[in-house]
Amino acid sequence: MRDKAITLNDIAKKLNVSTVTVSKALRNHPDISITTTKEIKKIAEDLGYTPNIMARNLSARKSNTIGVVVPKIAHFFFGSIIENIYDVAFANNYEIILMVSEEKAEREKKHIQTLMAMKVDGIIISITQETKDLEIFETVRKRGVPIVFIDRVPEIKNVNTVLINDKLGAFKAIEHAIKIGYRKIGHFAGYTDINIGRNRMNGFKEAMNKYNIEINPDWIIEGGFGENYGYESFMRLYKANNLPDLIFTVSYPVALGVYMAASEVGLKIPNDIDVICFGNAKVQKFLSPPLSCVDQPTEIIALEAMNILLENIEKRDEGFTPINKVIDTELILRGTCIGEEN
């Protein structure tokens, strides 16, 4: 047996007042006297009233909900960002609707449409590695839905972005590698169609150029941001008997793929083949050997993104000036890419 949900009307009838009075009372509207408000709240509590959010949002044209779209979730970087976004949202009385695109542009598009259909008040998104059709973002803009792009952003002008300094981060890593003596450096670059891939690649190239080291195109492989891509790229070079001394990977999962492949073929990191990656995860220090990396401060990214979004939501109808934040990274050295010590 299923109880019918309690509505404002049910409460109103009990007290012989109008629904509007109940609605107002529950929202502490000054129209309603303190005594009545108290009475109403008591009955609501007793009856176990929960407002119908669908009806509320429909009526109020506001959902107090923020949509978050990420390409992956079982991934430290995004998991951590989401957790931080949740914290800020919760503190500000917003709900989060999380959508996972699984790196599929088609799915991403559908998610964004759903979020708009749900009338979310704003969107925070990190796009997939294959997102090329940018029309949907134009639609979002047209609809006036505030949106903040984080980490992975499309090629659009005049939008809010929170990025990390990918180029400089990559540069720092490669410069360090060169300084400790590496010359044969490869780069598993993910997708350079997307800003993070492209900028990390640029940082890599800039460092190599600065120190006049030739870049071997065979050692630059593009493909993706996941484990399998790291694994396959490594295997390709290994089978061609053409491995560099150090591989700089575009992401932490890619490095993990390299670890898997290396261990499978019996090569020891860091002595036979060395690795450094972009992106931090709690476990890296426990890998064998502990993986050095360029750290991305997820908490700051989440916080900045939420700040911008909430600001945008509030000032929705005033003019819009895009905000673009760039967050700095830090090189964390552990058991790889540390030179002579081994």
**With binding defined as CB under 8 A, does residue 200 bind a second copy?**
no
Question: With 0-12 CB in 10 A as exposed, 13-18 as middle and 19+ as buried, what is 194?
Answer: buried
Comparison of 74 and 240: residue with beta carbon closer to a second copy: 74
Q: Token digits for 181?
A: 């003596």
Comparison of 218 and 264: residue with beta carbon closer to a second copy: 264
- Selected from 7, 19, 36, 139, the binder of a second copy by CB under 8 A is 139
Rounded to whole angstroms, the Cα distance separating 250 from 223 reads 10
Which one of DNA, a second copy, none is in contact with 259 (Cβ closer than 5 to 8 A by kind)?
a second copy
Which one of a second copy, DNA, none is in contact with 100 (Cβ closer than 5 to 8 A by kind)?
a second copy
Near DNA in 21-60, by CB under 7 A? 21, 23-24, 26-27, 30-33, 35-37, 49, 51-52, 55-56, 58-60
Comparison of 12 and 177: residue with beta carbon closer to DNA: 12
**Of the candidates 301, 204, 296, which has an alpha carbon nearest to the alpha carbon of residue 249?**
204
Comparison of 3 and 340: residue with beta carbon closer to DNA: 3
CB under 7 A: which stretch of 4-12, 164-172, 208-216, 232-240 binds DNA? 4-12
Torsion angle (degrees, nearest 10) of CA 22, 27, 31, 35: 70
List, as own/partner pairs, every contact residues 269-273 make where C-beta atoms lie below 8 angstroms and the sequence separation is at least 24, other chains included.
269/336, 270/335, 270/336, 270/337, 270/338, 270/342, 271/342, 273/243, 273/244, 273/245, 273/246, 273/247
Near DNA in 55-94, by CB under 7 A? 55-56, 58-61
Near a second copy in 303-322, by CB under 8 A? 316-317
For residues 85 to 114, the per-residue mask of contacts with a second copy, x marking binding by CB under 8 A and - elsewhere, is -xx--x----xxxxxx-x----x-----xx
**With binding defined as CB under 8 A, does residue 142 bind a second copy?**
yes
CA end-to-end distance (rounded Å), the chain: 69
CA atoms within 13 A on the CB side of 241: 0
CB under 8 A: which stretch of 19-27, 70-78, 200-208, 236-244 binds a second copy? 70-78
CB under 7 A: which stretch of 12-20, 137-145, 221-229, 303-311 binds DNA? 12-20
CA 156 to chain centre: 18
- Selected from 14, 19, 130, 202, the binder of DNA by CB under 7 A is 19
Residue type, 80: S
- Selected from 21, 37, 57, 296, the binder of a second copy by CB under 8 A is 57
**With binding defined as CB under 8 A, does residue 116 bind a second copy?**
yes
Question: Do residues 116 and 164 make contact, with C-beta atoms less than 8 angstroms apart?
Answer: no
**Of the candidates 182, 189, 222, which has an alpha carbon nearest to the alpha carbon of residue 204?**
189
Question: Do residues 216 and 186 make contact, with C-beta atoms less than 8 angstroms apart?
Answer: yes
Q: Measuring CA to CA, how many Å separate 3 from each of 7, 19, 51, 305?
A: 12, 20, 15, 41
**With binding defined as CB under 7 A, does residue 7 bind DNA?**
yes
Question: Do residues 271 and 287 make contact, with C-beta atoms less than 8 angstroms apart?
Answer: no
> Which residues contact DNA (rule: CB under 7 A)?
4-5, 7-9, 16-21, 23-24, 26-27, 30-33, 35-37, 49, 51-52, 55-56, 58-61
> Which residues contact a second copy (rule: CB under 8 A)?
1-3, 5, 48, 50-55, 57-58, 63, 72-76, 79-80, 82-83, 86-87, 90, 95-100, 102, 107, 113-114, 116-119, 139, 142-144, 227, 256, 259-260, 263, 281-283, 285-290, 316-317
